[in-house]
Amino acid sequence: MNFWLRNIILGLFLTILAWLFFANQDFLLSLDGSNTKENAIKTTETVVDSTPKEVEVESKTSLYQQGRSSGNAAADGLSKFYANLHGDMDGKGPKIRNNIVYLPDPKGDLAKLLQAREMVVRPYNKNWQGSIESRPFRTGDTLNQKLVEYSEKDGIDLIWWLNRDYVVKDPFRIEKDILKTTFQVAKAIEGHFESGLSIFFCYRQRAVVVIKSAPQPFLDEECILLASENPY
C-alpha cells in the first residue's frame, strides 16, 4: 500500500513540474536571451573602450617621431647651410662667392659692448691662455662658426668684428690653446683686408676680438694685442 501511494505522489509531482515548464517556456527562454544580450553588450563596450587607447598610443608615438625629426632638422640647419655654400648672390641672407661669406658691416659701439660685458662676467688673469686641444676645421665649416664654438667651450666670447667669414675648403687642425688658435686663423686671412687684422685678448671682459687693424683706443688700453712672438 505504501509503495503504490509513494509512486502515485511522485508521478503527480513530476506531472506538475512538466506542466509548469511547458506553461512558462517562453518566459524562461526570454530570460536566457536577455542574459546573452547583456554579455554581448559588455563585450562590445570592452572593444569600443580599448580602441581609443590603442589610437592614443599610436598618436603619441607618431608625435614623438615627428618631434625627433623636426628637432634633428633644426639642429642640422646651420651645418647644412654652411656645408652647401653655393649660394645665390641674388637671394636673401649672406652673399657667398668663392668661399667668402659677405656679412653685414658690424654695427654698434664695440667699446660699450665690452664695457657692458665686463659688468656681468668675472675677469680672467692676464696670463690666461685656455686649454690646449686639437681643434678640427672641416670642409664646409666657416672659420667664425668654429672659433665661436671652441671659444664658448673655453668660457670666452669671440667677437668677430669683420664683414666677412670664410668657408673651409681643405680640412685642417690646430693643436694649440684657444688664443693661439684664434690668432693663427685670423692671420691666415688678413691678406683679404687692406689694413690687416688685429687680435685682442680682453681678459677683463673674457673676450677675444678679431678686428681690422686701426687705432683702437679702448682695445689698446683695456686689452692685450696678440702677436706672433706671443707676449701674452
Q: Are residues 121 and 185 in the same domain?
A: yes
**Does one domain contain both 62 and 152?**
no
Average pLDDT, consecutive stretches of 10 residues, N- to C-terminus, the chain (232 residues)? 65 68 56 49 43 40 31 37 41 79 92 94 93 96 96 95 95 96 96 94 96 94 84 43
- All three cell numbers of 43, joined, read 563585450
Please, which residues have CB within 8 angstroms of residue 140's CB and are 6 or more apart in sequence? 79, 82, 83, 84, 85, 167, 168
pLDDT of residue 13: 67
DSSP code string of 150-213: HHHHTT-EEEEESSEEEB-SS-EEEEE-HHHHHHHHHHHHGGGSTT-EEEEEETTTTEEEEEES
- What pLDDT, on the 0 to 100 scale, is given for residue 92? 62
- Per the structure, the complete domain to which residue 109 belongs is given by 103-225
Q: What is the pLDDT of residue 206?
A: 96
**Dist CA 82 CA 166 (whole Å):** 10
| 146: in domain | yes
- Whether 221 and 131 share a structural domain: yes
- 163 and 219 co-located in one domain: yes
Structure confidence at residue 3 (pLDDT): 63
Q: Does 121 share its domain with 33? A: no
Residues 6+ apart with CB under 8 A from 31: none
Q: Are residues 133 and 183 in the same domain?
A: yes
In a domain, 88, yes or no: no
pLDDT at 88: 44
The bridge status of strand 157-161 relative to strand 164-166 is unpaired
| Residue with the three cell numbers 673674457 | 206
Residue 121 confidence (pLDDT)? 93
Q: Is the pTM of this model over 0.75?
A: no
